[in-house]
Structure 1
């Protein structure tokens, strides 16, 4: 079953009629008036957005923007859990980057503008982020990191991010990221070692007659 569709269904069931009306209002620039008039549920609204390629499992920015406008932190947490699951299926270097994003969102606070400029995020984008999430500092930080990642593409690496933090004198945050990366590396080594040990133990317990048959 598609995890993103499950998420959209879960969000839809959590919406009140007044919240659905608000979402329809916010989608006026994306969905025709005729289609919006026929929408009677969150599922129907999300189906229209999916059909129009305004939304998909890899592009959740619009869904996040809509949920932020409703100030539904419970639904935003569900989206965070979905995105964390998607990050878990990403390559290891991207997983490290997503983990660093979480630390930065928790630690950087209002210094995010300085970090964004160090990462070469344009001032116009920074202003737009503040307008988009006027009362949600965490989303301002996370959105600035998303913009950087999407713009820098292959240059959006963990070493680049740590260097930018240190250039902004945010050394504690940089240290936390590096410590987390080292801890994850040790955990991976222990898991590999444990797995190898289990295989050796199984081999040693295999009867000779079976081993050479």
Structure 2
């Protein structure tokens, strides 16, 4: 089963009717009134948020804000456990993409619309991102990257992102992404090598068995 869907099911099961009403009220800024009227459970609300790219396994900030507003520390602990597990489960390619998102979000700035269009994010989505994160360039960039990743799925790769950055003349940012990727690869190789060396050292220190 998908661990994220299991998490959402557990959170939904733990919500009271009054807490669900509070969450619906808090979600008015990102969910239309008509959709909220059809929400009868936490799963209904989460389904809408998933459809609108407000929520996904790599984007749990909104869920955390909602649970914090309810002061449900027990449900927040479930989310903490999921986030910790997601980091350890993530494939190297996924970790590289997350790290690239951090770099791009920090350095692209006002050029994010040009980058988003080159990544084939629609103008309507770009407008919605601007409304959602007014005066917050970092989150505007990050959200546009999330939309691209959710749309492209397996085709959303670091190499593709770097190529688009260069096509947008954002070569400095592209260089930073590539340098970060190379540094992580070297670190990963170093950790693997030290692990192998440690095993070899342990084996050499172990007493040899004597045949009788």
Give the alignment's TM-score, normalised by structure 1: 0.68
Relative to structure 1, the CA distance from residue 65 to residue 198 in structure 2 (aligned partners, 3 Å threshold; closer, same or farther) is closer
When the two chains are superposed, the root-mean-square deviation of aligned CA atoms in Å is 4.1
Deviations 1:26-76 (A, max 9, x none): 5654444996xxxxxxxxxxxx423654368845768629959xxxxxxxx
Name the count of aligned residue pairs: 184
Match of 1:176 in 2: 176
Match of 1:190 in 2: 190
The answer to whether the aligner puts 1:134 opposite 2:134 as a matched pair is: yes
Shift of 1:147: 0.9
Match of 1:115 in 2: 115
Deviations 1:151-173 (A, max 9, x none): 11221111110011111111111
Match of 2:26 in 1: 23
Match of 2:163 in 1: 163
Deviations 1:147-202 (A, max 9, x none): 11111122111111001111111111111111111111111111111111111111
Gaps of 5+ in 1: 13-18, 36-47, 69-78
Match of 1:50 in 2: 43
Match of 1:75 in 2: none
Give the alignment's TM-score, normalised by structure 2: 0.68
Shift of 1:83: 5.4
Asked if 2 retains the 8 angstrom alpha-carbon contact of 1:88 and 1:95, the reply is no
Moved more, 121-130 or 84-93: 84-93
Asked if 1 retains the 8 angstrom alpha-carbon contact of 2:116 and 2:126, the reply is yes
Match of 2:62 in 1: 64
Cα distance in structure 2, aligned partners of 1:94 and 1:34: 32
Match of 2:207 in 1: 207
